[in-house]
Structure 1
Amino acid sequence: MNAKNLSRREFLGLTAGAVGTAALAACGSSGPSSQSGGGPGVASYWSLSGPPGEPIRRAAIDRFNSTNPTTKISATFFQNDAYKQKIKTAIGAGQGPTMIWGWGGGGLKTYVTAGQVEDLTGWLAQNPAVKNKIFPGSFGAATVNDKIYAMPVETVQPIVLFYNKQVFEKVGAQPPRSWGELMALVPTFNAAKIAPISLGGQSRWTNMMWLELLLDRIGGSQVFDRVFVGEKNAWSDPAVLDMLTKVQQLIQANGFVKGFSSITADSNADQALLYTGKAAMMLHGSWSYGIQQAQGGDFVKSGGLGWTSFPPVEGGKGDPSDQVGNPGQYLSISSKATAAAKDVAKKFMSTTLLDNQEVAGWVKSGGVPIIEGSDAQLGTSPDAQFLKFIYDVSSKAKVFAQSWDQALSPTAAETLLDNIAKLFQMQITPQQWVDSMNGVIGK
């Protein structure tokens, strides 16, 4: 995962009020900053500084400490880049916190391989009330070798196919219900001098979203699962070549806006193309809603923004309900912690992190909590229609896959992003892409 993209991909809120502050979540303001009033406590907790996350996390720890005065938690909050460095160093030296906040996937797998985090499978089995409150699909990024090493927490952010209702009405079209329909829309919008799809291709991870969902719809979630577990030549699955070929066909058909490879997602130029009507569609994380709401004038308020899930592919094996994106954030327990500290952590994770105040905090911030039944509170938001859509697709997903560059190791992720950029610029063939990616499986 590229650190420069974390603020937008991980922590942007969904409402206009959240957007201005949420963008700071990954960079923080003054971290590290210690939780005041609790002293060193029995258990320690490290996470990210900055709104909207830090205040909600602080409030949860304060609630726990006030009701558990003899087993308090001490917390330290870091800016994003500092956190990524410090947590890795501390855990490697056996001096990490009791509770380790993270993104699951490849980073978590590294900790598991080194024996640095606790296996939570048995604890969750003994506490079904805890596990059953969390969206089932969110456990995928917390699972390594069929065992759960982290508890999914906080919010979900699936990838959404956004579209401009006004330009669709202009050409008399409907949102695509299949890959074939999406391809058929390309010449229709091009003829109307409207870019079919906006894409901030210079950022690379935006291109990746098209591959992730296409592969899922063509071959099912099991194809990437084999890559994640390190199966030799897993990228050689025929579904992968089909995915890569279809993407290049879309590019050759001028499906993406002209010059997409020089457009950056960090500048929100891709978002602007959609809300100004210069592009008809855009595949992006659910955080895009808040960006368009904050920067697009009355585009969202007037009902100009539409959204739907990525369509199925004709003849594909994938379940159209599968989601890809950020299935949650994750808390692990250090295997080096004392038994007493582990007990405190588990008590905190089974009580405070699932309480109504926690849910209300994330809803107020513009997020969709990872907890079953949290949709009951979404009606209080002015963006209830969109938030309930996100809740529905996330809670019903049998599989909620983590973005590939988060699921893979840093080495494999960088090779992935580099090859994706070359693929979209037509500099390599699908087979060359497969051969290159097979070379970094397990690295």
Structure 2
Amino acid sequence: MGRLGNMTRMYKGMIALPVLAAVLAGCGDSGSTSNSSQGAASGSASQGNGEKIKLSVWHNYSGDDLRAKTVRGLIEQFRKEHPEVELDSQPIPTDAYRQRIQTVAAARELPDVFMSYSGSFTDEFQKAGLIQPISELLEGNKEWADGFLPGAMDIFTYDGEVYSVPVAMSATSFLFYNKELFEKNGLSVPKTWDELLADVKAFKEKGITPIALGNQAPWVAQSTMFGVMADRLTGTDWFMNAIHGQGASFTDPIFVKALGYFKQLSDAGAFQEGANSLDNTQAEQTFIQGNAAMIMNGSWSISDWAASATQDQMDKVGVAVFPTLPDGKGKANTITGGPGGGFVLNAEAEGRKRELAMELIYKLSSADAQKAVAESNSMVMYNVDIDSSKVTPLFNEAFNLVKTLSFSPVYDLYMSAAGGEAVNNGLQDLMLGGKPETVAAQIQAAQAGTGN
């Protein structure tokens, strides 16, 4: 699930069904829905006996980028506004976040409020009864609720109840390129598969890494590159049918062909040596420092670079989409993503703690919060007027580009935990010499629940 994220990414991990099933087998939603959302948003409930109320929030905004600082700043504002609250805020690096949440979920010790990625990640919390709806918060703040872009809350809605709202737009597969390197070498940004392979060959011959990739956490290749590649070839309908076993299978020739394209790119030397041993941040730095011609990455990179790169480095970056593939059945003008992650409410929160937790969710998701996040060079699923002087030209370019695109699925947001893991690990195997047919069979077995 890319960073939200980080993705989300952001975005980018899922809780295994067996873990959650074991945690709350047969347990329903324990959270009361009788409290007023307006009370949550205004903090109007009485403090009771005057003792401090303990409230915990976990999230993956742990970095030095502007978005992370903005979200942490909103949490600190909440802390100052509520001296009656003993707030335990834990920022956890993205790549460790999934495991931490899985561990506390198994022990039934989830924080009161926590970041949850859209798709399968939130699905499993909801199915296991670990979270409760926040619909009343939206009903009590209609103007705020109406500001979300169409479809923003669909992925967080179950049986008519809303469990979260996105605090980011997840756009995971931009093709960033170094304009100076392309110009100096007389090359054009690739729009077709053949042009991409030609560029890879040309840069490789000149000793320049064609595409920076840090796939140590194996979601990266899947979330930032393979998902959009495969969708170009198969189309989205095929993928949705395959994950549900409805007339399509990951062993179908068209998907094996998609895996073959990824292997072909790897075999052509598109990535730097040891890409599976480097993390995504290292790859981002390789690219922004001018040591790679391209990188496939999400919108989070824009925020990362805005915080760490020089103006000269930023001026050299252009943004595009992945090229078309021969005989592709999918749309050409797409990017993987959609609504990013949002904050969810622990099913066990009740009374005054629940009211405060709802107020914290509102604080982190309100119209003001959405604007602040957008002006930290991070895309949101909210209708905001952005002060262009507060964002980088690259952000404006990417945001304007994404408005012209349609979204295709990030694989591990829709597949089962086992299926998504099989894709991630399979791509690493292909980079190490594995066969597309073997990887396809492993993915199908994992998704169908027949793998070992």
Q: Is the 8 A contact 1:60 1:353 kept in 2?
A: no
User: Residue in 2 aligned with 1:439?
Assistant: 445
Residue number in structure 2 paired with 1:34: none
Matched, 1:219 2:227: no
* 2:16 corresponds to: none
Supply the distance in 1 between the matched residues of 2:163 and 2:5 (Cα, whole angstroms). 25
- After TM superposition, the score normalised by the length of structure 2 is 0.71
Q: Match of 2:256?
A: 241
The whole-number CA distance in structure 1 between the counterparts of 2:271 and 2:442 is 25
Within the alignment, does 1:274 sit opposite 2:280 as a pair? no
**Which residue in 1 is equivalent to 2:271?**
256
Q: CA deviation at 1:324?
A: 2.2
Q: 2:75 aligns with which of 42, 51, 57?
A: 57
Amino acid at match of 1:279: A
Q: Tell whether 2:334 aligns with 1:328.
A: no
- 2:179 is the alignment partner of 1:182: no
Alpha-carbon distance in 2 for matches of 1:249, 1:42: 57
Residues 30-429 of structure 1 mapped to structure 2, 5 A cutoff: 46-48=57-59, 50=62, 51-52=68-69, 53-59=71-77, 75-80=87-92, 99-118=113-132, 129-136=143-150, 138-139=152-153, 141-142=155-156, 149-154=163-168, 156-208=170-222, 209-226=224-241, 234-257=249-272, 259-261=273-275, 263-266=277-280, 268=282, 270-292=283-305, 297=310, 299-301=312-314, 303-325=315-337, 327-338=339-350, 353-356=365-368, 358-363=369-374, 365-372=376-383, 374=384, 376-383=385-392, 385-394=393-402, 398-399=406-407, 401-402=409-410, 404-405=411-412, 407-427=414-434, 429=435
Aligned length: 403
Query: Which deviates more, 181-190 or 144-153?
Result: 144-153
Q: Deviations over 1:41-96 (max 9, x none)?
A: 99966233755222223435766x69xxxxx9875312427976775576667775
Structure 2 counterpart SS, 1:240: helix
In structure 1, how many angstroms separate the alpha carbons of the residues matched to 2:200 and 2:308? Answer: 26
Structure 2 CA distance for partners of 1:395 and 1:90, relative to 1, 3 Å: farther
Q: Structure 1 266/347 Cα, relative in aligned 2: closer, same or farther at 3 Å? A: closer
1:421: how far off?
0.6
1:245 is displaced (CA, Å) by: 1.4
Looking at structure 1, the residues matched to 403 and 126 of structure 2 have their Cα atoms a distance apart, in angstroms, of: 27
Q: Secondary structure at the match of 1:251?
A: helix
Distance apart, 1:106 and its partner CA: 2.6
Contact 1:197 1:255 in 2 (8 A): yes
3-state DSSP of counterpart to 1:306: strand
Distance of aligned partners of 1:95 and 1:278 in 2 relative to their CA distance in 1, 3 Å threshold: closer
Q: Please, which runs of 5 or more residues in structure 1 have no aligned partner? A: 13-36, 67-71
Structure 1 length-normalised TM: 0.72
Q: SS state of the match for residue 439, structure 1?
A: helix
Query: How far does the alpha carbon of each residue in 1:243-265 deviate from its partner, in whole angstroms, 9 at most, with x for none?
Result: 111112222333333x2445502
- Using the TM superposition, name which of 132-141 and 168-177 deviates more: 132-141
CA separation of 1:246/1:157 partners in 2, compared to 1, >3 Å: closer, same or farther? closer
Query: How far apart in 2 are the matches of 1:314 and 1:132?
Result: 41
Q: Identical aligned pairs, as a percentage?
A: 20
Report if aligned partners of 2:9, 2:117 keep a CA contact under 8 Å in 1: no
